Structure 1
Amino acid sequence: MSSILNVAVVGCGIGRSHIVEGYVPNADKFKVLALCDLDPERMAKIGDEFGIERRITNFDDLLTMDDIDIIDVCTPPGVHYSMVMKALEAGKHVVCEKPLVGSLQQVDAVMEAEKTAKGKLMPVFQYRFGDGIEQAKAVIDSGIAGKPFAGTVETMWRREAPYYAVPWRGKWKTELGGVLMGHAIHPHDIFTYLMGDIARVFGRVATRVNPIEVEDTISASLEMKSGALASFTATLGSVDEITRIRLQFEHVTIESDHAPYNPGHALWKILPRNDEVKARIEALLANWQHVPSRFQTQMARFHEAIEGKRELPVTSADSRRSLELVTAFYHSSSTHQEVVLPLGPDHPLYQSWVPAEFR
C-alpha cells in the first residue's frame, strides 16, 4: 500500500494549480499539510478553500517541521535557488516550478547537492503529460517514426498590461527573463523531450509588445544532435493563443493539439507515410491506457519515484537542458553568433544570463 506524503506548498499563485490538479486528484498519495506565502490574505483564502490549517509566512520555519515530506516551491523565479538548496539540505523532497534556478552555475550546484541529498528533486514541466504527447513519445521511442528531419515550435500567447501589474513580472531580477523563460520554456522542453538534444542555436530576442525589461518576442534556428533542423518562434503579442509543435520524421508527421496551456491533453495528429506504418502505429497504441494531463500525472509519477517504483518523471538534467537553451539564446542574440552546445563553466553567461545592470 502506498504511503501518503505530506506537502508544504510555498507560494499561493501557481501553487493553487498544484493543489487543484496535482494533489487533490492524488489524495491517496499526498496531503497538503501547510501553506507558505508572504501575503497572509491570499494564503488564508487558499487555506480556507482546501481546509489547510497550517499557514506560514517564514519559509525557514518549514525546514524544521519533521512531518513535512515535500516542499513544493511555487514562488517567483528569483528565489528558487535558495529555497531548493535549503530544502534539500534539510532532507526534504522538493518540487520546484520552472525555471528551476537562474543560471547554469546554479543548476550545476543543485545537481551536485542532489548527489548527497536524502530527498529527491523534481522540477515542474507539466506540459509533458497527457494522452496526446505520450502517444507521440511512444511512436518515436518505438522506432516507428524513423529518422528525424525537421520541426517547428510556435508559442503564440497574449500578455498585456494587467499581467505585468504583478510586481515581479517583466523584471530581470525577479522573473529572470521573459517569454523565453516563463512561457516558451514549456513547448521548447516538449520539443527536446521528443526530438533529443540541441547541437547549435542561432537566436534573437526582442521586446516588441510590452514596455518591460525582458523580452516578449523570440525566434531561432537550431540544429539538433541528430542532424535534424528546427525553428522556434514565440511572442506574447498574439491576438489568439496557440501552442503548435510540428515534427517531421522519415515515416510520420506529428502535430500537437494547439491548446496553449495543455497541449498534451487531446490526441495529437500522427500521420503515417503509408499503410504499413499506419498498421504498426495502430498495433502499438491498441491497448492505450488513459494518461491524465499536466500536474495530475506528474505528481502521481513523483510519488512512484519516491517509493522507488520508477525514475523521476522530470529531472534536474532536464532543467539544465532547458536553461542551456535559454543561455544560448541570450548569448546568440547579443553577439549575433551561433552558439554550440553543451555549455560549461567557461561560457561567458555561465554564472548568469541576466544583464549586469539588472543583477
Structure 2
Amino acid sequence: MDIQGIDLSIIWSVLIAFGIMMYVILDGFDLGLGILFPFISDSEERDVMMNTVAPVWDGNETWIVFGAAAMFGAFPLAYSLIFEALYLPLIFVLAGLILRGVAFEFRFKAEPEQRHIWDKAFIGGSVLATFFQGVALGTYVSGIPVVDRQFAGGAFDWFSPFPLFCGVGLVLTYALLGSTWLLIKTEGMLEARMRHFSRPLAYLLAWVIVITCGWTAFIHKDIAHRWFHGSHWLLTGGITVLAVIALYALQKSLRQRHSHQPFISTLGLVFLGYAGLVLSVWPNIVPPSIDLWEAASPTTSQLFALMGTLLILPVILMYTLWGYHVFRGKVKPGDAYH
C-alpha cells in the first residue's frame, strides 16, 4: 500500500519484526531462567535468579502482544492463516506463560515446604512455552498450505521432526540467554555455575544452528535457492561470518570472565538467526505463497493504526528502558521485589 511513495506494508512488516525480536530478546532470557532452574538446587540461589527479572518479567511480554495486535491490524489475512495453522502450539505457549506467571507470583508467597510445587510449575511453564514457540517457528518456516486464501492444512501439521527439532533448539537458545543474563546480574557461586553452563550451551546451540540450516536447505529447495540466488548469497555469507565471529567472541569473553560481553554476543547470535529467518521468507508473510501486499489491510486501516502505533510505541520503549535502568546492577541474596 503506497501513499506518496511510502509503502505502509513495508513499514508495518518492520514494526512487527521489531516487536517480535524485542519479545525474543527480553522474554527469552526470562524464560531461560525457568529452563535453568532444575540445575540449581539451592533455594536462595533460585530466589536470586527470579529476583533478577522480578521487576520486569511481565513488561517483557508486552512485546508479543504488540506484535500480534500489529499483525491483526495491518495483515489480517496473515493473522487468520498463521493462527489457524498454529492454533494448538500457540495454545500450549499461552498455557505455559500462564502457568509460569502464576508460579512466579505464588512461589514468593508459598510456605517453604510448598515452594517446590511452584518451582516445578515455573520450570514446566517455561519449558512448555519455549518449546512450543520453537515448534510454531519451525512450522512457519516449513510453510503454511493455503488454497483460495483459506488454510488447507491439518491441526497436527506441526507434529513432525523439523518443527519439534526447532522446539529443542529454542529451548537451548533461551537457556543460553538466561545463563549469560545471570552473569550480568549475579555474583559468587551462582555466577560461576552460569559461566560453567554457558560454554557447552553455546557449542550445542552452534550445532543446532548448523543442523537447522542444513535441514532447511535440504527439505525446502525454494529457501535454499533464495539464500544463494543473485546477490542474496552475499547476505547469507555475511550472516554466516558474523555468526562465527559472535560465537568466537562469546567463548573468548567467557574464558576472560567478562560479565556483559557474553550476553551481548548471545544477543548477536539471536539477532543473526532472526535475520536469517527474514532472508528465508521475505517478502512472504505466510510462506510459501502469501506476500505482504496480498495479506495487507486497506490503506486507510494501515494508516489509522500506524498513527496510534507511533504514539504508543515510544511509550513502551521508554517504559522498558526506564525499568531496566532503575533495576540495573547485581542482585544479591536477600534482595526482593515482592
By relative contact order (CA 8 Å, sep 6+), the higher-ranking structure is 2
- Structure with the larger helix share: 2
**TM-score using structure 1 length:** 0.22
As a proportion of its length, which structure holds more strand? 1
Please give the TM-score of this superposition, normalised by the length of structure 2. Answer: 0.23
